[in-house]
Amino acid sequence: MIDDDVRFRDFQPERLHRLTRLLLIRDGAGGVRPAVPPGILVLRDDAGRPVKALHCIDGRVDPGGIDAGDLDDLGRFAASRGLRWVVDCRLSSLEEVIESASAELRPGEDLVQVGLCLARAAEAEMKAGRIRIWPELFEGIAVPSRKALDRVFDIVLPPSTCALLYVFDGPALHAEVIVARGSRGVSSISGHDALDAGSPPRRWREGYRDLLEAAEGKLGPPSLGVFVELSAVRAMIDGSQPGAFTRALAGKDLIIDPMPLWLAGPVGAAAVHDAVEVGRRARAQLDGVLESSRLGRLWSRSGGGALAGRLAGQIRGAVEEKLREAAPLRHVEEKLDHLRHKVDLAEVLGFDPFTVAERLAALWKEP
């Protein structure tokens, strides 16, 4: 998937540094923290005693403060310590994973094949109950074959095309990355200067197509372009603002152009789901207010629940219309039909990757 002679070039050091810091969340005290949900890895010996523990944010934790019985119910253990995920693993299982993967690998294998071998070995240990993960993010999901991954790669980034990600902070370019693929794998990973197109447009919502044209002339036809406002990125990563994704699309703080067929369906579904969730929360809050007031009986008698349902339906319809206006989704139904029949990533992989992404995204949301 990545050529041996892949080139990293034309990055501005400051913007490259910002790119690596995109997955950071600003806290209320003015500092920053990694945009990862708090979780812990606990390693146990063959007798089941915790011997090592590593918190993903706080670092090493004294294993003496963890009783083996506490790990019988990982969900309860997580709740008692304010954790969003837990991995419970035997030290001997780690050794088995490494040995099994090493026996399967051949000299000169690339990192993708190494990862697949490790994943298959870990999958066997999970089925045996020696590696446990809470929540069960990978339930019902099997490790795909290399052939399936290669086919998905051809769909996501076809040969001789490129993909662009530009993050703007107001009119200024905050960070960017451009990935170009040759006839085989990724041939270059570069910054804006690789396009030889001068400064990025300050009115980027109107001028982003100039970037696409420059990329096509220099690197090949773009198969995916993502242009987004920094504040929208932070709102979506933070996960504490319901509807951030939908608002970004509708307000053109997030522009996806070109919109590849494999992404059109999930983007549309996510936007509508986002809007319905906002409507659900608003309805729940309104119901709570009315039930605690003298208007509660009137609300009930007048069919308030049905009215809220109709409002939610109107919200959904409005968001679908906004999506068609904000994103380059012409002939949406036709594209979704093609997506289902020609670009079904779930059919290729054997599982729906967007389901996995949804499970992972749920970890980021506030409890």
Please write the tens of the pLDDT for every residue from 342-360.
456 777 777 778 777 777 7
* DSSP reduced 3-state for 23: coil
**Least confident among 83-97, 177-191, 278-292:** 278-292
Give pTM, 2 decimals. Answer: 0.70
Domain boundaries, given as residue ranges, for the chain:
39-143, 155-364
Model pLDDT, residue 253: 93
Phi/psi at 353 (5° precision): -65, -25
Residue 204 has pLDDT above 50, yes or no: yes
Q: How large is the average pLDDT for residues 39-49? A: 92
Please write the tens of the pLDDT for every residue from 55-97.
988 889 999 889 999 899 999 999 999 999 999 999 999 999 9
Model pLDDT, residue 150: 87
Phi/psi at 293 (5° precision): -120, 175
Residue 113: pLDDT band by 50, 70, 90 thresholds? confident
Residue 30 has pLDDT above 80, yes or no: no
Residue 44: pLDDT band by 50, 70, 90 thresholds? very high
Residue 152: pLDDT band by 50, 70, 90 thresholds? confident
Query: Where is 342: in which H helix or E strand?
Result: helix 332-342
> Hey, which bits of 119-245 come out as E strands?
131-134, 162-169, 172-181, 186-190, 222-229
Angle at 39 between CA 36 and CA 42, to 5 degrees: 145
